[in-house]
Amino acid sequence: MSALARDAAKFQSTLKRQNFTSWHSNPAPPQSQADTVPNTPSPPAPPSNPGEPKKKRPKSNIVYSQPADTGTGSNQNTQLVYAVDFLKSNGGNPMRLEDISIHTNIPLTTDTVLLEKFRAHDRIIHDPKTDLYSYRSDFSFRNKGALLTEIQRHTRKGGGLAVRTLKESWKEAPAAIEELEKEGEVLVIRTVKDGQMKTVFWNEVKASEGGELVEKEFHDLWHSLKVPEEADLVKALQSGGHQTTAGENPVARPNGKKKGKKGAPRQRQARITNTHLKGEIDLSRDYLPG
């Protein structure tokens, strides 16, 4: 076998061993799990509904510029106010001292000085027989009839009663006043803003006794009148032919004295102390030496 034949056979064997497959078709080398996860962007947030209002943050009721309410405090006067207010809110019902101390967390049973101030308070009533304490209100009625009697008594004096004061004396007073108003026994003045009862008067002239409601026309005329300002009140009265009362005039009267000019000096009356010389020498004169 010639050398050329040997080289040809060697070349053929080399071609058989060689892999001519394209590198694109070869599988990729194995990678770690972190490398196989694609780096995809996060899904976009769902679009907000334009008609839906945005949620506002809840407002906090804490006022950081004010001191926090720490209870009844440690000052005796502050504790006294808390104890009296608690007994007032109880509706005038008598209570034991121990119950007041427990509900208010005030040491009335152990602090003798505070207890003495509590008993000496002008709004506290102490019954030594039962050892009970109650709040002294302005009025002592507890039913609708007694309430009407009190309203009648004050109306005869020329004034009404504040509903707030009546409520402090009896919690059921507002409801009783509304019933008396429906019955025509009382007249109630209400606030313009929210219609809350403000003052109550006794209705002296009832519909059953010949009284009639004032027509709306006169109501409108009455409320259309405007009271002048304090500075223009005197001028408005004088223009209408009226005079002011003998009370204090709201308009300052001009002072008759002019600035810059001083009046004549007032002569001070000489006080005579040498009474034994009275009748012999005129001591009010100045004697010049001769």
Give every strand in the sheet of 124-127, ordered side by side: 95-96, 132-135, 124-127
For the domain made up of 144-207, give the CATH fold: Arc Repressor Mutant, subunit A (1.10.10)
The confidence score (pLDDT) of residue 129 equals 93
Nearest CA to 173 out of 203, 138, 207, 123 is that of 138
Residue 124: beta bridge partners? 135
Pairwise pLDDT comparison (202 vs 272), residue with the higher score: 202
The confidence score (pLDDT) of residue 150 equals 92
- Whole-prediction pTM value? 0.47
Please give the backbone phi and psi of residue 76, each rounded to the nearest 5 degrees, phi first: -65, -40
Pairwise pLDDT comparison (98 vs 93), residue with the higher score: 98
Q: What are the sequence ranges of the domains in the chain?
A: 76-135, 144-207
**Residues counted in the chain:** 290
33 pLDDT higher than 80: no
253 pLDDT higher than 80: no
pLDDT tens-place string over residues 163-213: 998 988 888 999 999 999 999 899 999 998 888 999 999 998 777 766 677
The confidence score (pLDDT) of residue 274 equals 64
Given pLDDT bands bounded at 50, 70 and 90, which one contains residue 158?
A: confident
62 pLDDT higher than 70: no
Given pLDDT bands bounded at 50, 70 and 90, which one contains residue 232?
A: confident
Given pLDDT bands bounded at 50, 70 and 90, which one contains residue 42?
A: low
The confidence score (pLDDT) of residue 206 equals 77
